[in-house]
């Protein structure tokens, strides 16, 4: 128990120091625009179908659950607003980020871990280049940007999935479903969801690049890094979800807001 707690603290501290080095490198020696765009395109192209499908079914599931709850009260007209509010603010970013952690995080960790154990990263350093600048920084920024827009795209797909299931499951036409969304979902709710997407993207990029870059122990070490990446990312997403929820509620109380 004590050893596990110490390992967790070591991982958190090591990750913070690693991100500090990455940010220092970004300021002093930014990566090339070509390598950054290549990473953004690669991550987006690989993960867009998975994210879109995940968002669709998240919205569909929320619609089915809310239909079962509010049908008895005769309030099906508000189904679109209630389902969209819950999906955009909380459920959607969380579940989609979990899927991205397995898709993007595990792949990046395995890729960097393989480069580490096969001494490719050491070879780059021997050639006089900075591995953080050449390898880590493009992936880190690319994952943050791609994951943010992938999460946002997943939330858009969740609205479409909820609208489609509302038509088949509850008999609500799309116009009726969309009509009450602006009355319940405020700009603050949308901002909260996008803020969570950005925070989750930062957590994902930080953990997968750190665990991959610090891989040791050959092929078994790569496997351990991938598993550790998945666990750390999911725990980090849950913790930051709680923190961002507290921040958003405090901001709502401070600045006011009438919608969900």
User: Which whole-number Å values give the CA distances from 29 to 23, 32, 227, in the listed order?
Assistant: 10, 9, 31
Place of tokens 């970013």: 93
Question: How does pLDDT run across 82-91, given as a tens digit for each residue?
Answer: 888 888 888 8
Q: Find tokens 């997407």 and name the residue.
A: 197
Q: How far apart are alpha carbons 147 and 61 in whole angstroms?
A: 22
Look up the pTM and report it.
Answer: 0.87
Residue 257 has a pLDDT of: 52
The tens place of each residue's pLDDT in the chain, 260 residues long, gives 677 677 778 888 888 899 999 999 888 888 888 888 998 998 888 888 888 888 898 888 888 888 877 877 777 778 888 888 888 888 888 888 888 888 888 889 999 999 999 988 888 888 888 888 889 999 999 999 998 888 888 888 988 888 888 888 778 888 888 887 888 888 888 888 888 888 999 999 999 999 999 998 888 889 999 998 988 999 999 999 999 888 888 877 776 554 45
Q: Taking the domains of the chain in order of start, what are their residue ranges?
A: 39-255
């Amino acid at each position: 128990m004590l050893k596990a707690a110490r390992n967790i603290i070591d991982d958190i501290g090591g990750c913070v120091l690693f991100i500090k080095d990455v940010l220092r490198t970004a300021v002093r020696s930014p990566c090339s625009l070509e390598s950054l765009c290549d990473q953004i395109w690669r991550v987006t192209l690989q993960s867009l179908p998975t994210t879109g499908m995940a968002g669709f079914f998240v919205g569909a599931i929320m619609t089915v659950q809310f239909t079962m709850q509010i049908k008895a009260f005769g309030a099906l007209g508000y189904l679109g607003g209630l389902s969209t509010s819950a999906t955009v603010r909380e459920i959607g970013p969380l579940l989609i980020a979990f899927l991205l952690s397995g898709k993007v995080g595990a792949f990046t960790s395995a890729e960097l871990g393989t480069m580490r154990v096969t001494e490719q990263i050491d070879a780059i350093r021997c050639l006089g280049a900075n591995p953080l600048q050449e390898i880590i920084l493009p992936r880190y920024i690319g994952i943050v940007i791609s994951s943010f827009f992938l999460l946002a795209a997943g939330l858009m797909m969740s609205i479409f999935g909820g609208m489609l299931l509302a038509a088949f499951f509850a008999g609500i036409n799309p116009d009726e479903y969309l009509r009450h969304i602006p009355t319940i979902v405020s700009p603050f709710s949308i901002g909260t969801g996008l803020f969570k997407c950005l925070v989750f993207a930062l957590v994902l990029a930080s953990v997968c690049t750190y665990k991959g870059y610090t891989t040791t122990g050959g092929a078994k070490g790569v496997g351990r890094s991938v598993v550790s990446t998945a666990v750390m990312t999911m725990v980090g997403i849950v913790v930051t979800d709680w923190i961002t929820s507290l921040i958003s509620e405090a901001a709502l109380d401070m600045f006011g807001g009438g919608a969900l």
